[in-house]
Structure 1
């Protein structure tokens, strides 16, 4: 299937999908496509005004769509806990959790003192997934899809202090997304749920909108020159989330040169991301840093 598109998505009526950062860019396009296929969509976003505006736009595109919004600030573990509790109170199962939200080029730290990109892109999603795991494993054949990046190949993680604000912070956070995905999928082996990852390639999105101008402006120019639309950028995520042939631990990205453009297909991630020792160590450290212990009864631990 060389040109997989949203036309290849199966019917999702009755399925519940939670998407972080769904008010704009890749997340909005992902949420819209899932709603068009009948899924009940939960937009988990930091700004509730923007989330409601996005829900209204989706409702205009997809009359009759069932859309909910939940306030979620991934830079605050307290907010992650509140959001997870709210989602869990409204839904007894989650069929799709799409860890889409991300930041890049931001200085500073999260509310909990972590370097902001590692804290938001990895630790926030690690905590959210763990807090929702009982709802995920309650569904029939649920999927957790985490959005990584080509940039993961330039990331390095000090496993003794993975949250230290050194090196390529964005690349490190995107490498962490993949290490987390592969370890999660292995631990889900005794359940019907699976974990996969995807990356959008060179998509022109709003990921730089909060970055300092010196970082934001040149990156925006490059993205607009070489990038593709958010709708195309969302296709790898949508394929990982819905293609019946997709399997756990698979990674989807564009099929073209350097995985920048093209239709989604299964791609390979870096050797660092496939290192089982690194996966396990990052998992242990992430549980300690977030205070979120994944329920052992639901997971297989080697």
Structure 2
């Protein structure tokens, strides 16, 4: 019998792919799940289907546009106004190979995959600490291992290439650095942090990839349900209680992050610079 998990969880990008699969399993275990997503009209049908599948209708929508820091600020404020605990913040939403900039002018992939999530986390810091033990789980990627250069913080307002892979790799490196620095800064608070590689998943993150390549690649990808394995372990596994700042593979096994992701100086610099960037949007 699946172990119950009757706690409060907020998942970004919970209406599709790994996020929806994770939300479904957590709902099945009895969690109250907040779906922090861009589009309510697209999210409500997913919530209704999950409620039907699991018998759990304790599912709630929050509007969150990670490419707009004002929206992130509003989402955090809306959740805090509910005066509820938050036991798991699951930073799942992400994009790849999308050109352009966020509303505040940051390179789109970095802005969505790292900076929007960073603001959401620090805005919910007090709630998380009050709810301890609590967890911040970040869906990163093995792609962070494939970048051979340190994070270029002076380039986050411009694209590095025309293809988008370097931007994606850099954003995933930022995810792991963020996880490790959160563990250091919030040590002893009862809030622990985890980063993970879900595997290569057949999900909407690849929606901007040319369809012939995408169609062929899908045959070799894991399903969202398979991809939720590591997210679920990091979110609920009692054996990870008190563990923080670690990186996990697609089967939930602890793995070693890349040497660049272990750079404590880079992690501190990323955190400090991120705080500076989001400071106009703090409540």
Question: TM-score normalised to the size of structure 2?
Answer: 0.92
Q: Which residue of 2 aligns with 1:207?
A: 205
Select the residue among 247, 260, 269 that pairs with 1:251: 247
Show CA shifts across 1:79-137 (max 9, x none). 00111111111243210000000011111101110110000000000000011111111
Tell me, yes or no, if structure 1 residue 158 matches structure 2 residue 152.
yes
Does residue 242 in structure 1 map to residue 236 in structure 2?
A: yes
**Deviation string, structure 1 residues 127-173 (Cα, Å, up to 9, x no partner):** 00011111111112100000001111123411344444215000000
Count of residues in correspondence between the two structures: 275
Whole-angstrom CA distance in 2 between matches of 1:219 and 1:35? 34
CA deviation vs aligned residue, 1:21-70 (integer Å, no higher than 9, x gap): 00000000011111111110000000111111111011111113310000
Q: Runs ≥4 in structure 1, deviation > 4 angstroms?
A: 292-295
TM-score w.r.t. length of structure 1: 0.87
- 1-structure distance, mates of 2:194, 2:130: 18
Matched, 1:90 2:82: yes
Give 5+ residue unaligned stretches, structure 2.
none
Aligned to 1:131: 123
Q: Distance in 2 between matches of 1:293 and 1:279?
A: 22
Asked if 1:278 is matched to 2:272, the reply is no
Query: Does residue 291 of the first structure (1) align with residue 283 of the second (2)?
Result: no
Task: Say whether the 8 Å CA contact 2:69–2:281 is kept in structure 1.
Answer: no
Deviation of the 1:219 alpha carbon: 4.7
> Residue 11 of structure 1: which of 4, 7, 11 is its match?
4
For residues 178 and 282 of structure 2, the distance between their equivalents in structure 1, rounded to whole angstroms, comes to 13
Question: Would the alpha carbon gap of residues 122 and 66 (structure 1) be closer, same or farther in structure 2, given more than 3 Å must change?
Answer: same
Q: 1:163 to 1:152 in 2, by over 3 A?
A: farther
Secondary structure of 1:291's aligned partner: helix
Distance 1:204 1:114 in 2: 27
Assess, with a 3 A threshold, how the Cα gap between structure 1 residues 292 and 154 changes in structure 2: closer, same or farther: farther
Structure 1 residues 126-205: aligned runs within 5 Å: 126-155=118-147, 156=149, 157-167=151-161, 168-205=166-203
Q: 1:59 to 1:146 in 2, by over 3 A?
A: same
